[in-house]
Amino acid sequence: MQAIIDFETEPERYRHWKLSVNGPVAVLQMDVDERGGLVPGYELKLNSYDLGVDIELYDAVQRLRFEHPEVRAVVLTSAKERTFSAGANIRMLAGAAHEFKVNFCKFTNETRLAIEDASANSGQVWLTAVNGPCAGGGYELALATEYILMADDGNTAVSLPELPLLAVLPGTGGLTRLVDKRLVRRDLADAFCTTEEGVKGARAVEWRLVDEVVQRSRLTERAMELAHELAQRSRRPAAGAGVQLKPLARRLERDRIEYPNLLVTIDRARRLAELTVRGPAEPARPGVLAAEMGTDFWPLALARELDNAVLHLRFNEEKVATWVLRSEGDPALVAWYERMLVEQQEDWLVREVLLYWKRVLKRLDVSSRSLFALIEPGSCFVGMLFELALAADRSYMLRGSFEGDDRAPAAVGLSPLNFGPLAMGNGLSRLGTRFWGRPEVVERLRKEVAGRTLGAQEAEKLGLVSFAPDDIDWDDEVRLALEERNAFSGDALTGMEASFRFAGPETMETKIFGRLSAWQNWIFQRPNAVGEKGALKTYGTGQRAEFDGRRV
């Protein structure tokens, strides 16, 4: 049995990063332990990274946002002399299973998007000080920050050499960020991405690959000057206590993962996982602020648990192909916490909680699993939790009650949070995506339906759920739908689901997960990359890769 990949860590356990905070500026230094690979078989030389390195990075990003409200700017750099990062470790990629490679790229993408989200929406702006060669995923990490400062020393360069060296694409959004974010001309981007040695000095600035170059002796000084300038523009509070992200209360068993607010049960024979979200047990006392409740604040606690569960299922349960989303609890209590979020949305912590929910739901959106929502008596799919049902590929809502069940019939409800604050990667709300091209439908829902309790028949008529069987047909319809799903090709389902989930305009984010994930998924299986004489297998051996020259 393979070892479980755990996404829980804390700064005291970091092996690869050094985090220091001094007032409004934090410095995060990459200092990868060569012998600290997640699994044996490779050394993480030249600050190259594997999943373990990125798990720590994601933890640092989260802690900076929640534990350090005073931090307004973050300097990302390397602690190693004259080395920034060689990118994702090639030996790790060459030896990893195909599924792991694709999931690894997806997670690193999500982490870099979280950095961009912090800069754009949290007033915690990131900048990079490149102090040595910065290649592949190392440069992609720098691209996720808002400003790139580079040493001008004749040695330091930025590069994306994956295509000429490895016969693959940059795996963490580098191509898209070059042309969509940094506005590099396509001809220069083409030259850059087919040149192994990269670009340095004034040319890197001229091509828009970096923002500024300075003498090596002034790099640290200039980075801190920039960080303090950026910090002065931030809206984050200048003082105040953060929320310590305590370790999750999690009981992990072979077929079950239990958190205080979430239960995951796994049926491997049916290749199915059920994720049952638990609504709050009681309201907070009147007048309490979210910050006073810390990690016990129900929306934050649930977001952390759901985030952890999704990552666990992605990496540790690859054969579990369908996730069934359920909920249980009092819809009125969910609505109570929602009002608290809306009323306190100017508070820095509430803003962070809403942004975190947005990121967790996006993680669900791009997970290559079939998502089914089951809405039954005793459920609490209202407002922010109804986003889970909207994220599903299909939703089934029971019409009426089960025989002998004295609970009230299933009900759903919309709130202000369903109309924008938790937008998808395409920039639209899930309702806007569901009714793409029909804005009048969304507006009617906002004006006439939001705030009301909806039964199954009305929800189905309004298009808010897929199907509303009664108790006679419920078991058979749900069972057949799930059995049918598992009979299809998982590859074809992944392609279909990803196509349908992101209707509407294309954004940098949907390009990264749509175009890149699809192409990289294919390229990672091609002999030119992973065959016995492919570039990933022959890299570093002295042998020359042999390519099939046919273009497909």
Per-residue pLDDT for 1 more than 70? Answer: no
Six-digit token string for 134: 């910065």
Looking at the chain, the whole-number percentage of residues with pLDDT higher than 90 is 85
pLDDT of residue 515: 77
Residues 351-360, mean pLDDT to the nearest whole number: 97
pLDDT tens-digit map of 282-309: 887 777 778 888 899 999 999 999 999 9
pTM here is: 0.96
Phi, psi of 138 (to 5 degrees): -65, -45
Residues 125-145, mean pLDDT to the nearest whole number: 98
Per-residue pLDDT for 490 more than 50? Answer: yes
**DSSP letter string over 41-85?**
S---GGG-B-HHHHHHHHHHHHHHHHH-TT--EEEEEESSTT--B
**Which of 9, 120, 20, 19 lies closest to 55, judged by CA?**
9
- Report CA torsion sign: 376, 380, 385, 387: positive
pLDDT of residue 292: 84
**Which of 264, 339, 336 lies closest to 306, judged by CA?**
264
Phi, psi of 100 (to 5 degrees): -65, -45
CATH of domain 11-232: 3.90.226.10
Q: Which residue has the higher pLDDT, 238 or 89?
A: 89
Tell me what the pLDDT averaged over the chain comes to: 94
- Angle, vertex CA 49, rays to CA 45 and CA 55, nearest 5: 145
pLDDT of residue 2: 64
pLDDT of residue 18: 98
pLDDT tens-digit map of 232-263: 999 887 667 899 999 999 999 999 999 999 99
- Report CA torsion sign: 175, 104, 99, 532: positive
Give the integer Cα–Cα distance in Å for 120 and 151: 26
**Which of 136, 273, 141, 120 lies closest to 198, judged by CA?**
136
Give the integer Cα–Cα distance in Å for 129 and 148: 6
Residue 88 contacts residue 107 (beta carbons within 8 Å): no
Give the integer Cα–Cα distance in Å for 404 and 406: 6
The CATH class of the 251-499 domain is alpha beta
Give the integer Cα–Cα distance in Å for 335 and 417: 11
User: pLDDT band at residue 366, thresholds of 50, 70 and 90?
Assistant: very high
> What length is written for the chain?
552
Per-residue pLDDT for 363 more than 50? Answer: yes
Residues 394-405, mean pLDDT to the nearest whole number: 94
Give the integer Cα–Cα distance in Å for 130 and 114: 20
pLDDT of residue 239: 67
Q: Which helix (DSSP H) or strand (DSSP E) does residue 366 occupy?
A: none
pLDDT of residue 213: 98
Collapsing DSSP to helix, strand or coil, 214 comes out as strand
**DSSP letter string over 136-194?**
THHHHHHHTSSEEEEE-SSS-EEE--HHHHHSS--SSSHHHIIIIIS---HHHHHHHHT
Q: Which residue has the higher pLDDT, 83 or 514?
A: 83
Helices (H), 325-446: 331-343, 348-365, 386-391, 430-434, 439-444
Give the integer Cα–Cα distance in Å for 55 and 282: 33
Q: Which residue has the higher pLDDT, 240 or 408?
A: 408
Q: Are strands 17-22 and 25-30 parallel, antiparallel or unpaired?
A: antiparallel
Q: Boundaries of CATH 3.90.226.10 in the chain?
A: 11-232, 251-499
Per-residue pLDDT for 83 more than 50? Answer: yes
Residues 221-232, mean pLDDT to the nearest whole number: 97
Residue 508 contacts residue 176 (beta carbons within 8 Å): yes
